[in-house]
Structure 1
Amino acid sequence: MTARTILVTGASGVVGSALLRVLDAQGHRVIALVHHKPVEVESARGDITRPWLGLDPRDYRDLAARVDVVVHCAASVNFGAAPKTLHGLNVAGVGKVLRFVSDARARLVHASSAYVRHADDETVALGAYASSKRQGEILVRESGLPAATARISTVIGDSVTGHIARLQAFHHILGAAMAGLIPFVPREPGMRADLVPADLVAEALAAMATTELTDGMYWITAGEAAVTFDRIIDIAFAVAVQRHRADDTQPNLYVEALKPRIVTPDTYRQVIAMVRANANPDIGLGRLADLDRLIGAQQSARYFPTSLGVLPGSPPPPTESAIEKALIATCRYLASFPKEYWNGR
């Protein structure tokens, strides 16, 4: 395999940090573009929302002269972020990265979102987020540069350790539910969540970066291995019971009593209206908004397609059993946080 110099933006994030490990293990020369948090490979401190990627012009030119491939992972993945923030990172930021790719005469792997499919659906609460990601995809497609796009679904922790570089909305919701802070979860019968472990996403992106893909759309998703919401709740609370088994102040029956009840969306809306009216301090309104967006993102009965196993060099598509094992690992990682941590959302 020919070694390449690969620039990874968003290198300290959930996907970027996992990708650094994979690329380093494969022997590629890796440079990380970071904004705040340091990483353990060669890095440059920059900002994709600023000219020259926030670098000194001389440093920018030196970096462009070295880079063969850019894997663009930096983005706002906050479904509830302000439209201005989403546009600055997910649209204008993509434009500045494309300029760098052009200056470097490099190839681009653009990390997008599977939830782009909701960009035109005004009934889904994450429409602004999905729209910003779609606009970023359009910029990539119309740039004329050699570029391939990865549509990624909800990322959970490492398949084995469950570790997550940065907690995102799904992790906060799951952790709060395990701590007994979310009493109800709405879902239609059979509703599933498409979850992919961070290391699986990283392996697929590495395959895209190290093969000569110059165009196309690739789905990094669980596909038909998506897990039902009922199963997610069962797994989370099996882990919660294990976590508290040795704690005499929280016996198993107490922990099991905190398990969220699955209700219909109509019942959920009535309950939430009551909760909002009473401003219950134990159920953060921000957490409820995150849950609304998460449910909205997963509301379609259709599976996402998946390119895993078809994409050259990528891992095979996951089985439902493999996704469940990764979810167990993620829940164990989240269970290591004290209950007080989840009260802050």
Structure 2
Amino acid sequence: MPSQPTVLLTGASGVVGSALLPQLPDCHTIALIHRNPVAGADEQLAGDLTAPRLGLDADAYQRLAARVDVIVHCAAITGFSMGPEATHALNEAGTRQMVQLAADAGAVFYHVSTAFVDRTDLTRAQLGQDHGDATARPEDYLDSKRAGEDVVRSSGVPSVIVRPSVVIGDAVTGQISAFQGMHGIIHGLLRGLLPLVPVPAASPIDFVPQDLVAATIAGLIREDRRDGEVWVTAGANALSTERLLQVVGDTADELGLAPTRPRMVGPEMVDRLIRPVFIANLHPRARRRFDDMLAMTALFAHGHVFPSSLGQGAGIPKAPSTGELEAALRASVTYMARTKGMVRDLPQPAFAGERVPA
């Protein structure tokens, strides 16, 4: 690989992509954008992941392929409510287009997937449980990410599949380009909208800061890793549900919010008693919010500890300690509360955690 490889990045404005760009000062970066420009890339190129040749004419496509040494494919639909067609169109078909470019360019392909492909058997749909009024369908997202991984594995191009768990904000500042995933649960907790959480107290809640994911990908590029699967997870250091709720609650109290702390209950009790007795008569919006939470938390309710690849390789960061994860969570909670206008005129917090080293 050249001393200053040219890296084509998709999803550069997203959570992982925006954190990755500052980690690649020794690379020439090209951000493939769809609509909105991004900051931090050396070049920007408008394209369409779902179109042949990315929507470029033949000459422009060939010029691009001749330049690219590395492709980092972060772009994906990560929400659970877009429906199977739209989700597969980007997460599977879009991956197919990028793999083709990697083949044409002779480039190494780094595909950002998700650790939760390992938990497809835990969705409510897979377990045969009622969706209720939920609009969230984790099974659509997970099916599309598994299909995307299959595209990569069958392509024959040198490739690494990167599997982060839940991605939260920057480990020190909590800053994130868009609130997603667990941030929705955190927001509900801060506002006192979740009187119960249908996850056992001891279940591991695996999350990692966005800068750790970015540092891992940057390390793989510098190491010139060309095959395998890399799990970017907290692994055995993941917080339990009980500890996560305590950290969120304590941070909220420090910010002066003092929301009611939720009760932890098993999902079986929810389906047998709470939904039919207490939830059925709520306003439709409240029922939908509750059922969406059920759909999302099902991936954690009986989840096992994820494997972790952190610390395995010269350029790969070590796994964060439980204390570092707690500090990162506090930073994300504080950033969300401030950004959402829930707290005002408070001094900026002194974050206890240190940035995860690259």
Shift in Å, 1:274: 4.6
Shift in Å, 1:97: 0.5
Shift in Å, 1:173: 1.5
Provide Cα deviations, 1:143-193, integer angstroms capped at 9, x if missing partner: 111111111110001000001111112111111211111211112241111
Provide Cα deviations, 1:7-63, integer angstroms capped at 9, x if missing partner: 110110000100111113xx2111111223321122112221112213343332222
Distance across 1 between alignment mates of 2:276 and 2:11: 38
Aligned to 1:206: 218
> Does the Cα contact within 8 Å between 1:112 and 1:150 map onto a contact in 2?
yes
Shift in Å, 1:264: 2.5
Shift in Å, 1:301: 4.3
Aligned to 2:352: none
Check 1:180–1:4 CA distance in 2 against 1; reply closer, same or farther (3 A cut).
same
Distance across 2 between alignment mates of 1:275 and 1:12: 41
Report the 3-state secondary structure (helix = DSSP H, G, I; strand = E; otherwise coil) of the residue aligned with 1:331. helix
Shift in Å, 1:2: 1.9
Letter matched to residue 311 of structure 1: G
Letter matched to residue 73 of structure 1: C
> Does the Cα contact within 8 Å between 2:166 and 2:181 map onto a contact in 1?
no
> Does the Cα contact within 8 Å between 2:201 and 2:240 map onto a contact in 1?
no
2:69 is equivalent to residue 65 of structure 1: no
Letter matched to residue 123 of structure 1: L
Query: Among 302, 305, 330, which residue is 1:300 paired with?
Result: 302
Aligned to 1:54: 55
Percent identity for Structure 1 against Structure 2: 39
Provide Cα deviations, 1:227-260, integer angstroms capped at 9, x if missing partner: 111111111121212222xxxxxxx6xx24x222
Letter matched to residue 336 of structure 2: L
> Does the Cα contact within 8 Å between 2:204 and 2:304 map onto a contact in 1?
no
Provide Cα deviations, 1:278-297, integer angstroms capped at 9, x if missing partner: 23367361x33442233221
Check 1:274–1:21 CA distance in 2 against 1; reply closer, same or farther (3 A cut).
farther
Aligned to 1:123: 127
Letter matched to residue 128 of structure 1: D
Report the 3-state secondary structure (helix = DSSP H, G, I; strand = E; otherwise coil) of the residue aligned with 1:108. strand
Report the 3-state secondary structure (helix = DSSP H, G, I; strand = E; otherwise coil) of the residue aligned with 1:123. coil
Aligned to 2:30: 31
Letter matched to residue 163 of structure 2: R
Aligned to 2:232: 220
Check 1:283–1:195 CA distance in 2 against 1; reply closer, same or farther (3 A cut).
same
Query: Among 281, 297, 318, which residue is 1:278 paired with?
Result: 281
Shift in Å, 1:272: 3.6
Which segment is superposed worse, 80-89 or 14-23?
Answer: 80-89
Report the 3-state secondary structure (helix = DSSP H, G, I; strand = E; otherwise coil) of the residue aligned with 2:330. helix
1:88-127 mapped onto 2 (5 Å cutoff): 88-120=89-121, 122-123=126-127, 126-127=138-139
Distance across 1 between alignment mates of 2:62 and 2:276: 55
Distance across 1 between alignment mates of 2:277 and 2:58: 55
Aligned to 1:9: 10
Q: Can you give the 5+ residue segments of structure 1 that lack an aligned partner in the other structure?
A: 245-251, 341-345
> Does the Cα contact within 8 Å between 1:158 and 1:164 map onto a contact in 2?
yes
Report the 3-state secondary structure (helix = DSSP H, G, I; strand = E; otherwise coil) of the residue aligned with 1:49. coil
Aligned to 1:82: 83
Letter matched to residue 170 of structure 2: D
Check 1:289–1:54 CA distance in 2 against 1; reply closer, same or farther (3 A cut).
farther
Report the 3-state secondary structure (helix = DSSP H, G, I; strand = E; otherwise coil) of the residue aligned with 2:261. coil
Check 1:309–1:275 CA distance in 2 against 1; reply closer, same or farther (3 A cut).
same
Aligned to 1:168: 180
Letter matched to residue 19 of structure 2: A
Distance across 1 between alignment mates of 2:262 and 2:121: 31
> Does the Cα contact within 8 Å between 1:153 and 1:221 map onto a contact in 2?
yes
Which segment is superposed worse, 263-272 or 221-230?
Answer: 263-272
1:324-339 mapped onto 2 (5 Å cutoff): 324-336=326-338, 337-338=340-341
Report the 3-state secondary structure (helix = DSSP H, G, I; strand = E; otherwise coil) of the residue aligned with 2:301. coil
Letter matched to residue 280 of structure 2: A
Query: Among 145, 158, 170, which residue is 2:170 paired with?
Result: 158
Distance across 1 between alignment mates of 2:61 and 2:222: 23
> Does the Cα contact within 8 Å between 1:78 and 1:169 map onto a contact in 2?
yes
2:182 is equivalent to residue 181 of structure 1: no
Provide Cα deviations, 1:90-114, integer angstroms capped at 9, x if missing partner: 1111110011111111110111111
2:209 is equivalent to residue 197 of structure 1: yes
